[in-house]
Structure 1
Amino acid sequence: MQNRYAGDIGDYIKIGLLRALAPSRRLGILWYLYPNEGHNSDGRHTAYLSMPAVWRNLDPELFDFLAEVVPYERSVQAIQRAFDSEARFVAEPVPTGLTAPERSARRRHWFETTLAHLNECDLVFADPDNGLVGDEAWRRKATGFGKQMPLSEVRELSAGRCAVIYHHNSRFKGGHDAEVDSWLRALSMPAIAVRATAYSCRTFFVVNPDTEIVERTRAFCERWKDHKVRLHASRV
């Protein structure tokens, strides 16, 4: 997540999903906050806010909040106010700008601190900029590792509770449905996936869902189905 993305169409969908899943749950959000970049136009997808007739009915309270906040302040701190006051947040930036040997150790310390902060939460959301990656050791030394979440962190974060993980779909050979199936296999845990393809293609992996979370996810997808949101038809 980068502050420049705050309040774009992806945020409207992700916050809407979390609001739909969170009642009676203690929600924790791990932003995987990464420094703003300026090499592309990502994060400019806010035109939906000028189309209330199309988008507002999906979550009127959230839509009105974002329409008020986004023109003046784009940051994770600003959009956190869209959540219940009991929600917990980790906005400590992901370690970046280190030498290769330092990255792995600093990342481990950051993640362990995060787990401790979210210990009491029974529903957690992780928002890595690019999404999931494998657990190969070399990845932890790469300069872009701060934008990624390895499978080992997914498993630790979701141990004993439900976790929702953001993934930005890539140029996967075979297409995005095949990519989602590939990650569902790699997770090796109970999981379902929500595909959201308005403006750009993203997937939300709902890991370790109980029956209530599954039903709430299905209801969310049904409500948003005319806006390019659907439950993934897994072929795993």
Structure 2
Amino acid sequence: MARILVVDDEIGIRELLSEILYDEGHTVELAENAAQARESRLRQRPDLVLLDIWMPDTDGVSLLKEWSGQGLLNMPVIMMSGHATVDTAVEATRIGAVDFLEKPITLQKLLKTVAAGLARPVIPASMRSRTERPAALAADPVFTQPPPLAGGPAVAQPMGTAPSAPPHDDSYLGRISLNQPLREARDEFERIYFEYHLLHENHSMTRVSERTGLERTHLYRKLKQLGIDTSRKKSSSA
């Protein structure tokens, strides 16, 4: 699961891209202008940025150049526009953008471009070096989450409903079988992950939201998607 920042002044495009990327399992942050994008970037480096070129306050190319000059362009950035010229796209690439999406953006084109962007290391135009690990690893939940699940005691397994992994079986990560499709393994991991935080935060959605870095609306949708019951606190206290 990657953390993706979508920067676009059109609310319809922001919502559409957010829905698609969220359904793919990514965490999505939204910014409607360069000012919000700057704030989001300073809070935490995203794994990938989808950046619109034409915005009312600061255009995307100028923001890209600003990040590059400040040493903040250490994540893949994909530019978006419905009426950009070839020269604009070339300039953005020269500054450090990894790709370009032309609006209207089709579903398959979006997913293919995002996957390619996450899978390639970023080389900032100013230094052409990269000290952070590739975004492809950051996009994989097995590598991004804390290590309690990576074998050993099931400290982060609050529900205890699934059987423990066979000892010394390298086809398991904790109790997650690696002999299954990636999406199913990811869902199983996320189910354990959110059950853990719900238990330890006493089902406080505010604290779980802060702990996991998911906005509350996305958190509720994610829990519903994973089939996790969020009403147990109420029923247990009744």
Do they superpose with TM above 0.5? no
Query: Per residue, is there more strand in 1 or in 2?
Result: 1
TM-score normalised according to structure 1 size: 0.27
TM-score normalised by the chain length of structure 2:
0.26
Structure number with greater CO (CA < 8 Å, separation at least 6) is: 1
